[in-house]
Amino acid sequence: MSTPHATNPTLTVERVVPGTPQRVWTAWTTPDGLAAWWWRHLPGTTYHVDARVGGQYRIDSPSAGIGVRGEYTEVTAPRRFAASWIWIDDGTDGDVEHIVVTFDPHPDGTKLTVTHTGPWTSDEPAEQYRQGWNDTIDALAKLP
């Protein structure tokens, strides 16, 4: 349901995934790590990651006409990173949004928390991202 008066709604997705925080961190912050699970089903997807403050990341799927890019604003390995998030649709950049991803030890692996905010005027974009984040994290959780 949309809330027309919402100001910068925040989406938070929490999941426990297998693996230590260091292993899950590596899956998020290295090209090979991302290639093992992020949009793996989309042929020709490319991954660039420079996980340091001021470093850039970019994930492109030319076959689907989508991508995402941004700059790391905080990197505290292997516990937390923050970055800008710019969705790319058919070569056109969207608004500058922000993500914070945390990796906390859990008895069953790592508690992963993704917090995503944008200059949204309703809850609708957050709800659309919720499905995408859940699908993406499902793929991460299936890593051997």
CB 84 within 8 Å of CB 71: yes
CATH number at 108 reads 3.30.530.20
Tens digits of residue pLDDT in 19-75: 999 999 999 999 999 999 999 999 999 999 999 999 999 999 999 999 999 999 999
For the chain, how many structural domains are there in total?
Answer: 1
Classify residue 140: in a domain, yes or no: no
Classify residue 95: in a domain, yes or no: yes
Looking at per-residue confidence, does 4 or 101 come out higher? 101
Classify residue 63: in a domain, yes or no: yes
Classify residue 52: in a domain, yes or no: yes
pTM: 0.93
143 by DSSP, 3-state: which?
coil
CB 89 within 8 Å of CB 65: yes
Q: CA dist 83 to 24, 56, 101, 115, 142, Å?
A: 17, 9, 9, 11, 25
Classify residue 144: in a domain, yes or no: no
